[in-house]
Amino acid sequence: VYWPMFVLIFYFICPIPHFIAKRVSDDSDAASSACRELAYFFTTGIVVSAFGFPIILARVEAIKWGACGLVLAGNAVIFLTILGFFLVFGRGDDFSWEQW
């Protein structure tokens, strides 16, 4: 049963709102912009959906609860990795990964 593999879509679309907000918003002001807040909202919705999707699949018995638990554990690892990447490489410093 390959239904849990659809959660990969959430992994790919999770950083897209952040990238769009970073391009659109002006980084000169210290206060948080409305565009960045909207990106946080959409990203939160994507992450919550990624955790809810396997639960719904297990609830309708498309997958077993053990598979649901493994997907949820994988979600936690992947989303914490994505968060760590943005916390480490998202800041503007002398050697900036943002130029690539």
Q: Which residue has the higher pLDDT, 93 or 14?
A: 14
Q: Is residue 17 part of a domain?
A: no
Q: Is residue 88 part of a domain?
A: yes
Q: Is residue 40 part of a domain?
A: yes
Predicted confidence band of residue 29 (pLDDT cuts 50, 70, 90): low
Domain holding 46, by residue range, is: 35-99
* Number of folded domains that form the chain: 1
Q: Is residue 43 part of a domain?
A: yes
Q: Evaluate if residue 27 carries a pLDDT over 70.
A: no
pTM summary value: 0.81
CA 47, CA 50: separation in Å to the nearest integer?
A: 5
**C-alpha count within 13 angstroms, C-beta hemisphere, residue 47:** 17
Q: Which residue has the higher pLDDT, 10 or 89?
A: 10
CA 11, CA 78: separation in Å to the nearest integer?
A: 8
Q: Is residue 29 part of a domain?
A: no
Q: Is residue 4 part of a domain?
A: no
pLDDT digits (tens, 9 = 90+) for 44-97: 999 999 999 999 999 999 999 999 999 999 999 999 999 998 888 776 555 555
Cα Rg of the chain (Å, integer): 16
